[in-house]
């Protein structure tokens, strides 16, 4: 029994990215961002995308990454397979990363799989564009 619980715990820690804790509706995110006076981080992915899965498992499962994101952003995950994605955002070439102001204006965008260190660099770049 102890082995089963240990395996269950380890498996859950490997998949630390839980999309149920992210918003899945763009308009709800904009409304919340305006109320909280925060910017928006929009992650566009696909359910069967190997690169999206890797980004979730390697980068978004890191506590430091999520803490930094939650500090400054409303987090939105839109799967092109399940969610409505407004026309101004690309649906293909995922994973896609959009940094938006509270009105939904795109401040910075990128795509691809990033390791945590590379993602922190991306966040720094997005912060620079936010301040301009």
Return the domain boundaries, the chain.
Answer: 16-131
Task: Print pLDDT tens along the chain (132 aa).
Answer: 555 443 444 444 444 455 568 999 999 999 999 999 999 999 999 999 999 999 999 999 999 999 999 999 999 999 999 999 999 999 999 999 999 999 999 999 999 999 999 999 999 998 888 776
Q: What is the pLDDT of residue 21?
A: 83
Give domain 16-131's CATH number out of 3.50.50.60, 3.40.30.10, 3.40.50.12280, 3.40.50.720. 3.40.30.10
Q: What is the pLDDT of residue 7?
A: 42
How many angstroms separate the Cα of 11 from the Cα of each of 16, 53, 58, 60? 9, 15, 13, 15
């Amino acid at each position: 029994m102890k082995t089963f619980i240990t395996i269950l715990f380890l498996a859950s820690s490997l998949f630390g990215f839980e999309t149920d804790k992210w918003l899945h509706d763009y308009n709800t995110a904009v409304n919340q961002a305006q109320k909280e006076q925060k910017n928006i981080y929009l992650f566009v992915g696909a359910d069967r995308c190997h690169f999206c899965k890797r980004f979730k498992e390697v980068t978004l499962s890191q506590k430091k990454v999520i803490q930094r994101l939650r500090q400054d952003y409303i987090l939105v995950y839109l799967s092109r397979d399940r969610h409505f994605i407004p026309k101004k955002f690309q649906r293909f070439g995922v994973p896609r990363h959009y940094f938006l102001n509270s009105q939904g204006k795109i401040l910075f965008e990128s795509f691809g799989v990033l390791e945590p260190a590379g993602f922190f660099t991306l966040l720094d770049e997005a912060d620079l564009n936010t301040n301009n």
